[in-house]
Amino acid sequence: MNRRRSQRGAPGGRATSPAADSGRRGQRASHGGRGELRLIGGEFRRRRLPILDNPGLRPTPDRVRETLFNWLAFELAGTRVLDLFAGTGALGLEALSRGAGEVHFVEAAAPVAAALTRNLDTLGVQATVHRSDVAAYLAGAAQPFGLVFLDPPFRQGLATATCERLEQGGWLAPHAWIYVETEHELAWQAPPGWQLHRELRAGDSHARLFRRTPPAA
């Protein structure tokens, strides 16, 4: 894995550096201004990183992350990864730890993006943080990714619109994997060509992993 300091992107724009949009993932939030994120596997297994104690950050349980990366065990090496609504960056950081080739984080909240950038610097890994709203980021020039993490704030109607932008905007490699986490009661239709590979319900969350099938020529 390349060891370089993380780079920072311009506010509201595309960046050439690590992390970005208000993803809602963390672990063991405290009441003293900081919590802690534990990486589960790979090079940084058992590493603990500080995270902000922010009411907008919704933790993804260790069990869900561990299950997801077991599903993806043979698909990560060298893959380009996009972590939307990144928050603590738990999923993108886990992907880096397990051998992803390139990770871009998109996070709108400046303090959250800054905290993620510090954790990337602490680990000494190369990644890119885009401090941008997800919709604005996806309105830019597309770069196809092999794996996308999508864990938007619940009950704001963001999952369906974001999936459509990913599919229609050219952000997905022909056989990309897409992880989508929503509130369990949300009924929505995945874009055409997305095949459900695995799913898991935990608490009020419904996690789904899709594999994209490219449209026929």
Q: What percent of the chain has pLDDT over 90?
A: 64
For residue range 96-148, list pLDDT tens digits in order.
999 999 999 999 999 999 999 999 999 999 999 999 999 999 999 999 999 99
For residue range 56-80, list pLDDT tens digits in order.
676 577 888 999 999 998 889 999 9
Q: Tokens 């992350």: give the residue.
A: 65
For residue range 48-61, list pLDDT tens digits in order.
999 888 776 765 77
Q: Tokens 């730890």: give the residue.
A: 97
For residue range 109-118, list pLDDT tens digits in order.
999 999 999 9
Cα–Cα distance for residue pair 54/102, rounded to 1 Å: 27
Of 12-26, 38-52, 180-194, least confident by mean pLDDT is 12-26
Q: What is the pLDDT of residue 195?
A: 96
Which residues are registered as beta bridge partners of 106? 84, 130
Max alpha carbon distance in the chain (Å)? Answer: 55
Q: What is the pLDDT of residue 217?
A: 61
Coil, helix or strand at residue 9: coil
Q: What is the pLDDT of residue 34?
A: 63
Cα–Cα distance for residue pair 130/92, rounded to 1 Å: 13
Q: Tokens 């026929």: give the residue.
A: 216
Domain boundaries, the chain: 7-25+58-212
pLDDT confidence band for 6 (50 / 70 / 90)? low
Q: What is the pLDDT of residue 63?
A: 86
Triad 67, 94, 65: Cα angle to 5°: 20
Residue type, 54: N
Q: What is the pLDDT of residue 62?
A: 83
Q: Which long-range contacts (CB under 8 A, 24 or more apart) does 93-96 make?
A: 93/37, 93/39, 93/44, 93/49, 93/119, 93/120, 93/123, 94/39, 94/40, 94/41, 94/42, 94/65, 94/69, 95/69, 95/147, 95/149, 96/1, 96/42, 96/44, 96/123, 96/125, 96/127
Q: What is the pLDDT of residue 57?
A: 74
- Check pLDDT > 80 for residue 30: no
Residue 68 phi, psi (nearest 5): -60, -45
Judging by DSSP bridges, how do beta strands 172-183 and 34-38 pair with one another? unpaired
Which CATH superfamily hosts domain 7-25+58-212?
Vaccinia Virus protein VP39 (3.40.50.150)
